[in-house]
Structure 1
Amino acid sequence: MYGEMLKCAVAAVVLAQSATADEIAFGIGWDDMFDAGGRESLSFLFEYHADPFFEGHVLNLALMAVIQADDRGDIFAGVGVHNRTDIGRARRFFLEASLAVGHFDEGGNTGTRDNGTRFRTSLGAGVHLSERERLSLTLDHILDMDFKNDHPGSETLHLRYSRAF
């Protein structure tokens, strides 16, 4: 019940503010690509990034909300912090990273030990397509509460399109 309420709250915040959001990102990718058990699947991502609350040369931190789901029914919904650092002389390229905490639900199976609170990390690099649009490739990873790779240990490669408003 707690997990369902958290997912609904995150979705409500994201959807209610998407019209006035600083930035939204959509991604499509391949989930569990390094899984020895062969559970690979198609993954989808939606993120909302608020205006940065700290801006510097390297750190540009913003609050974020994220929903990540795959075609097996796995869903992660969480909130956290996102950073984007422009690189290169022309600042055409960038690096990005994020850390979020939220609820993970493995394919609707409420009895599995993989359901519950998890952390999600993301590292990526990309290019500015215009002043308001970007394209990036990120490697996202979901970890358990002990920051271990055991449950669920899910990694996803996403191709992301971001647009600032």
Structure 2
Amino acid sequence: MAGKLIRRFVSALAMTIMAAPVAAQQWVVGAGWSDYSYARADDSIIGTFEYHAAPFYVGANAEAGWALSGEVTGAGDGFVGGGAYLTYDLGPAWFLEASVMPGAFFEKPPVNDLGSTFEIRSLLGLGYRFGNGSALSLAVSHKSNASTSNFNPGANSIFLRWHWGCRAVRRRAGLISPSTLGTSDGKQ
């Protein structure tokens, strides 16, 4: 069942990526460590892949949009989710990133059970933009079922994340002008 859901998520992600304008997308890949709060759990490495759609809000210092995420741990656990992301500029190169993504969690070893399939992943990170439009961030995330189950140990992860393909990142880095985006203020 978990494999079927993950295949459907990957198929939906691929169709979404192919349907959206290339310049409006951002991809994020990351690797790190996942620490389960349950003492007997199998902590392990974790990898993540995210797709950020074109922002539905672009302001002077912030942008927000919809995103999809997939994660896999070295123990074989998986998470797929979707929700909102926010990026806030701290200056020309530094930024904060945050996201909240409800989704489904599938544990491979039973000791990594988080209490339910439904989990909410929240993330907060600090990043740096490079002149070529890509960015690197350090982020922490937490998965929890928000006490919708009697058992809610949660899991915390730390990631080093690579971002690329985002026109807002390229715009803020001075590589493209807002007029290239279609309007003078960068809104779509």
TM over 0.5: yes
Question: What CA deviation, in whole Å up to 9, does each residue of 1:57-111 have, x standing for no partner?
Answer: 45411110000110101111011001111112xx1100000000110011165xx
Aligned counterparts of 1:16 and 1:108: Cα–Cα separation in 2: 31
CA contact (8 A) 2:119 2:143 kept: yes
- Unmatched runs of 5 consecutive residues or more in structure 2: 167-188
Distance 1:34 1:127, change over 3 A: farther
Aligned counterparts of 2:10 and 2:58: Cα–Cα separation in 1: 27
Amino acid of the residue matched to residue 81 of structure 2? G
The residue aligned with 2:117 is: 116
SS at match of 2:135: strand
More strand by percentage: 1
The residue aligned with 1:14 is: 13
Q: TM-score, normalised by structure 2?
A: 0.74
Aligned counterparts of 2:3 and 2:62: Cα–Cα separation in 1: 33
Amino acid of the residue matched to residue 26 of structure 1? V
- Detail structure 1 runs of 4+ shifted over 6 Å in the superposition: none
Alignment of 1:141-152 (within 5 A): 141-146=142-147, 151-152=152-153
The residue aligned with 1:103 is: 104
Distance 1:114 1:164, change over 3 A: same
Deviation of the 1:164 alpha carbon: 1.1
SS at match of 1:125: strand
Deviation of the 1:34 alpha carbon: 6.2
Q: TM-score, normalised by structure 1?
A: 0.83
The residue aligned with 1:52 is: 55
Distance 1:113 1:42, change over 3 A: closer
CA contact (8 A) 1:59 1:85 kept: yes
Give the total of aligned pairs: 160
What's the RMSD between the two structures over aligned residues? 2.6
